[in-house]
Chains A and B, each alone.
Chain A
Amino acid sequence: MTELDDRLRDTLRSKDGLAPGFAETFAAAAQRSQRRAPLLRVGLPIAAAVAVVAVLTGRPEPELGLVSEAELFGSTSWRAPSDELLPNRRFDIYRDLPELGESTKLQGEAL
């Protein structure tokens, strides 16, 4: 140990000043560490609930497959358009339609 080493040690230590009491510092730290605990107590269940919802909503769609013929006929019915149109419009519907062979080209003002 040299004279310089001794003087360095003395000088640097003199700059430390008076440290705050350990008991107070440690107690404050304990308080700070406990302040985080309620956050964890509230935060963890919320995070768990979010995870459960994410898992449930993220479930894969049921696999698509062919519908059996019997199931298809049992669940649907088919009606011809004329079944609906004819009782209400009767033959009016045909009056608006051009007759076969009739010209649809305009010649002057007339067809």
Chain B
Amino acid sequence: MTDALERNPNVSRSALESLHRDVFGWALSRCDYDRTAAEDLVQQAYVELLTGRARFDGRSSLKSFVFGIVQNLSLRRFRRLATRLRFAAHQDSAEAVDEMRIDDDKEGIWDAVRALPARQRDMIELVFCRELTIAEASAIMGVTLGTGRVHYERAKQRLREVLDYDDD
């Protein structure tokens, strides 16, 4: 690799660049869509790679590895804040879902996703939005594959009910 990181020889700058948009999107959702906090989180993830504190050895995909760093950093840095924010957001969204007119526009789907329990929402995001497998998503979330599958199925089931879809 010509543009490999000095302290992380299995990671190249170009590979990181190709993941950057997805990594930022994932960081954004970790920070309750606070852009400044997400930018800081992505920077910190890159610092971990540049300093070699997080060392990629090729056992997983680079994408799930970097997503894992972002997940761990966000858990460490925003644990208390995220809990409060998610609780508040969950309350608001739950009320919104009760009141909303169930249709198939984006806001309706968005509200339904936001109203899911945190782990189900994360699973849906990782699988559908970030195009990871359930196994990769489970590893990032730190749960077993079986638990990951349960979160995924429950999330899909809940969304089908709320959004009145029965095409699965």
Q: How many A residues touch B, CB cutoff 8 Å?
A: 26
Q: Which chain B residue lies CB-closest to A10?
A: B106
In the complex, what's the smallest C-beta–C-beta distance from A86 to chain B, in angstroms? 82
A50 at the interface (CB under 8 A from B): no
Tell me which of B35, B51, B125 contacts A17 (CB under 8 A).
B35
The residue in B24, B28, B29, B160 that gathers the most chain A C-beta atoms within 10 A of its C-beta is: B24
- Chain B's interface: helix, strand, loop or mixed, by majority? helix
Measured between beta carbons, the chain B residues less than 8 angstroms from A29 are: 43-47, 50
Q: How many A-B residue pairs have CB under 8 A?
A: 86
Q: Which chain A residue lies CB-closest to B159?
A: A4
A94 at the interface (CB under 8 A from B): no
Tell me which of B39, B113, B168 contacts A20 (CB under 8 A).
B39
In the complex, what's the smallest C-beta–C-beta distance from B19 to chain A, in angstroms? 9
- Listed from nearest, the 10 A-B pairs whose CB atoms lie closest are A29-B46, A12-B129, A19-B24, A16-B25, A22-B20, A33-B50, A11-B109, A4-B165, A8-B128, A22-B17
